[in-house]
Structure 1
Amino acid sequence: MIEIRAVSKRYDGGPPALADLSLTVRAGEALAVVGPSGSGKSTLLNLIAGLDRPSAGSVTVDGVRVDTLSEAASARYRRTRIGMVFQFFNLLDDLTVVDNVVLPARLAGLPRAKARARAAELLGYLGIHRLADAYPGRLSGGERQRVAVARALMNRPALLLADEPTGALDSASGAQVSELLAGLHADGQTILLVTHDAVLAESCASRTIEIVDGAITRDVPAAAR
């Protein structure tokens, strides 16, 4: 699913954010990426998402050579190949839950009726169908993150990227999101998760890598942790 070969990334001539990093992630894996602040975790996620380009090396996701895409092709890649979940949800407060969820499908050209049917399916699957007509500002943090996950899954992405998905949540809501991600992985979704939360990594990832100073210092499957 992900093939990263000898990737380095430098900003403004400073020390490398990533240093000759190589990584392979198989379809169906749930990979947790951990490490201290400034270690290169977010840079890695941004390269996989096509939001940034490496200074050297190659990034291939689901058969797409991401580092060579044009800006327009990168946007299409993000719409069709990946779903993204963020720490602070990034929901549109003036849209209802269901309208937030259908937005990626509408941008991809899916007819309104089919988009709403897919949204209803996801809201039911994630246990938040009763919130379809609510507005994000009236939801708890855990509920908003579930809506964000539904939106990320709308176009049936090959890869789900999650950037500190429990970072803005209380412990109870964080546990719910952790359970949700574990369930998605059990159902076959490929996930790459960037987190400082060791409990989250332990509970929902099948493999954990640690990045320090732009290099992988530890790569451990779940059974060995």
Structure 2
Amino acid sequence: MSTPVIELSGVSRRYEDGPAALDEVSLTVHPGESVAILGPSGSGKSTMLNLIAGLDRPSTGTVTVDGVRVDTLGEAGSARFRRAKIGMVFQFFNLLDDLTVADNVVLPAEMAGMARGAARRRAAGLLDALGIERHAKAYPGRLSGGERQRVAVARALMNRPALLLADEPTGALDSASGADVKALFNELHADGQTIVTVTHDLTLARSCATRTVKIADGRITADHRTAVAG
């Protein structure tokens, strides 16, 4: 069995005196898996995503991503680790409106110290592969929601991350754009990308995930492996 990309062991997260946002959760994700995390609002799924990304720390337990204990990293170390190992896609894209599409995509590589020429070539290749190369010089505000999400995915893939984390990637899209993003995620998974998606979108989970993890009240209540519906 391959070394896990994600390994949560006995992870709990509590905030002050309230109930646990996560309660003794253990989860292992292997390379090439596409995992959908489902649950109602307040179930703990976003907390889990933040812990995996090193944006938060567990109260107890350990969080290991690509062989690194991210729960032990400081703020600067976490930021460096995310740049190198994790791509993140958000519901509302989080693109910089005053930068062109190409500049948005190049930004993570420049922050990681990649040579400018190499970064530009990498960005051009990603935009071409994702079918949005014609928009390289445009600004995000001029694109459709589906196109902006493709730009966000290109940016997330810029540094060849071991893991792609997506937080409600179809939540702000109409049905046509959502279908476009689902097809894109299927393509990424077919290419071997490890993906963890937090979503309320059952059709996204059914069409893109090889595994569905359900969370309620901070605990995993179901963990099923399935074939991608396509």
Normalised-by-shorter TM-score class:
over 0.9
- Which residue in 2 is equivalent to 1:29? 33
Among 15, 21, 27, the residue aligned to 1:17: 21
Runs of 4+ aligned structure 1 residues displaced above 4 Å come to none
Indicate whether 1:95 and 2:104 are aligned. Answer: no
Match in the other structure for 1:160: 164
Once the two structures are TM-superposed, the CA of residue 223 in structure 1 deviates from its matched residue by: 3.8
Kindly state the Cα deviation for residue 224 of structure 1 after the two structures are TM-superposed: 10
Q: TM-score, normalised by structure 1?
A: 0.99
Q: Among 104, 107, 120, which residue is 2:108 paired with?
A: 104
- Whole-angstrom CA distance in 1 between matches of 2:107 and 2:188: 21
Instruction: Find the partner of 2:149 among 145, 154, 158.
Output: 145
CA shift at 1:222, angstroms? Answer: 1.0
| Counterpart position of 2:220 | 216
Question: How far has the Cα of 1:12 moved from its partner?
Answer: 1.3
Tell me the TM-score normalized by structure 2.
0.97
- Partner AA of 1:71 in structure 2: E
Contact 2:146–2:178 (Cα < 8 Å) also in 1: yes
Q: SS of the counterpart of 2:83? A: helix
- Partners of 1:184 and 1:45 lie apart in 2 by 19
Percentage identity across paired residues of the two chains: 73
Unaligned runs of 5+ in 1: none
Structure 2 CA distance for aligned equivalents of residues 102 and 79 of structure 1: 12
The CA distance in 1 between the partners of 2:168 and 2:53, in whole Å, is: 15
The CA deviation at 1:13 is 1.4
- What secondary structure does 2:82 align onto? helix
CA distance in 1, matches of 2:190, 2:143: 27
Q: Secondary structure at the match of 1:200?
A: helix
* 1:183 aligned counterpart, secondary structure: helix
Distance between the aligned counterparts of 2:228 and 2:108, measured in 1?
38
Partner of 1:45: 49
5+ residue gaps, structure 2: none
Q: For 2:93 and 2:68, how far apart are their aligned partners in 1?
A: 27
Aligned with 1:162: secondary structure?
A: strand
Alpha-carbon deviations, 1:7-38, whole Å to 9, x = none?
A: 00001110000000000000100000000000
